[in-house]
Structure 1
Amino acid sequence: MHKTGKRDVTRFRTIWISDLHLGTSGCQAAKLLEFLRATESETLYLVGDIIDGWQLKRRWYWDQTHNNVVQTVLKKAKKGTNVIFVPGNHDESIRQFIDLDFGGIKVRDELVHTTADGRRMLVLHGDRFDGVIACAKWLAYVGDSLYTVILKFNQVFNNWRARAGLPYWSLSQYLKLKVKNAVSYITQFEDALADEARRKGVDGIICGHIHKPEIRDINGILYCNDGDWVESLSALVEDAQGQLSLVTWHDIMHAIPANLPVGDMDADVEIDGEISIAV
């Protein structure tokens, strides 16, 4: 471990985060802010659904923590982090600015990232490979409303669990993994993304959209989903050698000594040790 002062940060070559859903009460903005302040990278990809325009049109929700997240990302860009924003379906209005740069943040529809070990990874949000989004947008809005209700119930339920000394439990993640149609949908989505990567002649694909963090080989194509910041609180990261891993807020925060404050982004520290939860 190399220390130069105020606090430890975990350094990566690249970080991918998506599905933050800023502008909703379900966004875990405080934990996201901790994660952003506790990590640094050469490149930061924002892989869609960063701001939830669908929910903001229905009801305005935007507290100071959400502001702080945006300001922290802008500060990273100003300090030299290569920040790339790939809009998703919930922030699709940003797609009108594809190929433009704002405040040091590049807006791109999709692009190919080359890892340190030479693998070419297609980066996109993934919503256009979702049949519900592509063919029946009204149904997607209905599903989004139901998902919001489930999340609100989940918050109340987990407040009770916390008071009882029990760990966090996600109802929506449970339903996704247990309901047969949901499992089939996820598999079809992953296969469709892998087919797109194969068609474009790349080694793998990195996406978000379905809120299910995953790294797996699909017939020779490396499929990576960075998860979300509503439930899984996860990110995809690349180390200096090009290895791709999934990490969570819990992993990153437990890599930092408890007596050091989280919040100062000016430290120059590197942590040794393994924090990845999937390879």
Structure 2
Amino acid sequence: MTDEIHQAFAHPEARAAAMAPADPPDRLSLRDHIVAADIGAFQQERGQEQRLRFNVVVELARGGGDAGDDVDQILSYDRLTEAIAAELAAERLNLLETLAENIAARILAEPQPCRVFLRIEKLDRGPGALGVEIVRSRAEAAPVTAAEVPHPVVAYLDNATIAAPDLSARLDRLAATAAPVVLAVGLPDTTRPATGDGPCQTRIDLLAIEQNAWVLASRDPRLNVVATRTELDWAMKQGNMVVWAPSKLVLDTPGAPGSGEDGVALAAWLAGELAALRLVVHGPVSLPAACRVPVEPA
């Protein structure tokens, strides 16, 4: 038991050595790599970068010694730091456990690794380091084939369209397309609180848009409100028509619009994120000047 406790709190490299067979594999290690990131489940952690310390040990498959001195033939240290940077940039996460799983999976996608030991610690949440340590093996991981997500049509509906008597007919026309449909709305016509504080106001505006999304959903039984990328991907795979609630994706995605005032701009951003076939805009609103997908009026 003493050895197990010692290994549990030792450097990941020591644990890798203790768990290895008599003929140990080669190992690549990254020690005390510190990065500032916005992560955490608590409200006070949002919008506040904190230091994360990464320690990584990768056990490598034997390559027969034929790599020579060619950096392209080995697992570079850069691949470890790039895996960390890529997952931190992909989306804002609440849990270190999720971040660790994603980084380990990205490293194991390389051809050389057999097993990954990964420790992540928060350095600014208390007097000590708070963290998680995982071990993941290529041999234990079942191969995963990601199902292709179809390209949707994103449609923005202004408030007059939401309240229009012909809403059902408009939805019928959208549903008749061969692609799944994601509906987006803007701010309601009702008065909302004004705070004068940018981040707080953005949250208030996004919540007001979500209220408007539920108003739209109440007007047609085909519609459900979805908030996460997982829900969006599932709905698109099923060919469902859904209404987007923007708060989670906007707040958790680096590079997302920093304001909730312009619903059309949010819809254009979503269309780009989903690689939509086109953005269809209902109502006399200003079309976005820059959009990664074709934009057309309804």
Q: TM-score, normalised by structure 1?
A: 0.23
Q: TM-score, normalised by structure 2?
A: 0.22
Higher relative contact order by CA 8 Å / sep ≥ 6: 1 or 2?
A: 1
**Structure with the greater alpha carbon radius of gyration:** 2
